[in-house]
């Protein structure tokens, strides 16, 4: 029974499930008739990134993560098919793998999505999504995802993941930048999970040299995934702002 003047207290909502990281979806970009960048010595991006994906999967599985590749051979899934693979999973992050045409050879850089203003938004106002967020940086479980802007609620966590990955890349590959960069990478836009792109420089190097980068790339990503997992656990254990 309530005392006079005492307002009924709303029943506390079930807190969102604590985010964790169990699955890493690796996306070797291009494939099929789209071979991506081609080097002067015949290096083909779509083949090199598939090798990277396989090497990274081994390193991730050794650390207890489940790794899923968006393609296992020379198939060419669409952007949306690749996104659909992770959007159907929980506790997962997405890493799309690329090799550049240019840039200092033997270096690697992580990118997180740079949100472009919505076509309908006025030019003077940048898009500023005010959706409630999941502790991982995502949306509440009940919120609907607008497919074309699925990455929007995850920008913070994607940036954090990119930072952690870049720290490792800078250690593994001398000359790599210290910080990740923001870029409007198309593949990332429709991913409803923390998502980054890694671009290795470049197809100007010969194929065997690039392929050798797969193992250290896997090490870097596996360490960063562990660090991200810890960061998620820490964020979940800290009392966050009321939602």
Partner 1 sequence: MARHWKIAVAILGMSVLASLLTFPALLRTVLRLQSSAAAEQQARREIVQPALSTPADTLEKAPLFWASASEPAALEAHDLELPLATDPVQRAKQLIAALIARPPTPAQRTLPAETVLLQFYLLPDGTAVADFSEALAGATPSGILSEQMAVDSIARTLEANLTAVHRLKILIRGQEAETLAGHLDLTGFFPVGTSQPAEAPPAPARSP
185 is an interface residue for partner 1 by CB under 8 A: yes
Among 129, 141, 209, 230, binds partner 1 (CB under 8 A): 129
Return phi, psi of residue 3, to 5°: -70, 155
71 is an interface residue for partner 1 by CB under 8 A: no
Consecutive H or E run containing 92: strand 92-99
Closest CA to 56 of 91, 101, 108: 108
CA distances from 144 to 23, 26, 86, 139, 223 (A): 22, 25, 16, 8, 32
Among 52, 65, 94, 112, binds partner 1 (CB under 8 A): 112
Among 42, 75, 132, 147, binds partner 1 (CB under 8 A): 132
41 is an interface residue for partner 1 by CB under 8 A: no
156 is an interface residue for partner 1 by CB under 8 A: yes
Q: Are 102 and 109 in contact (CB under 8 A)?
A: no
Tell me how far, at minimum, the Cβ of 118 lies from partner 1, in Å. 7
119 is an interface residue for partner 1 by CB under 8 A: yes
13 is an interface residue for partner 1 by CB under 8 A: no
Q: What's the CA gap between 192 and 83, in Å, rounded? A: 8
CA distances from 59 to 18, 62, 115, 158 (A): 25, 5, 31, 21
Per rule CB under 8 A, count of chain residues that contact partner 1: 55
Which residue lies nearer to partner 1 by CB, 238 or 242? 242
Site of interaction with partner 1 (CB under 8 A): 29-30, 34, 36-37, 45, 79, 98-104, 109, 111-119, 122-124, 126-133, 148, 155-156, 159, 177, 181-187, 189, 197, 199, 201-202, 241-243
């Amino acid at each position: 029974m309530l005392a006079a003047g005492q307002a009924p207290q709303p029943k506390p909502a079930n807190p969102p499930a604590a985010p964790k990281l169990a699955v890493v979806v690796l996306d070797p970009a291009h494939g099929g008739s789209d071979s991506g960048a081609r080097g002067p010595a015949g290096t083909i991006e779509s083949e090199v990134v598939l090798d990277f994906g396989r090497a990274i999967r081994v390193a991730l599985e050794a650390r207890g993560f489940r790794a899923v590749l968006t393609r296992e051979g020379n198939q060419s899934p669409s952007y949306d098919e690749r996104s659909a693979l992770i959007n159907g999973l929980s506790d997962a992050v997405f890493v799309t793998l690329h090799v550049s045409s240019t840039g200092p050879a033997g270096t690697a850089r992580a990118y997180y999505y740079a949100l472009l203003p919505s076509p309908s938004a006025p030019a003077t106002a940048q898009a500023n999504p005010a959706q409630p967020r999941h502790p991982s940086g995502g949306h509440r479980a009940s919120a609907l995802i607008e497919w074309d802007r699925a990455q929007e609620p995850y920008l913070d966590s994607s940036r954090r993941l990119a930072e952690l990955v870049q720290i490792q890349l800078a250690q593994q590959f001398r000359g790599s930048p210290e910080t990740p960069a923001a870029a409007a990478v198309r593949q990332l836009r429709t991913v409803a999970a923390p998502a980054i792109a890694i671009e290795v420089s470049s197809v100007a190097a010969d194929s065997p040299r690039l392929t050798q980068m797969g193992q250290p790339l896997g090490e870097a990503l596996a360490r960063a995934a562990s660090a991200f997992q810890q960061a998620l656990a820490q964020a979940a254990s800290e009392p966050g702002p009321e939602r």
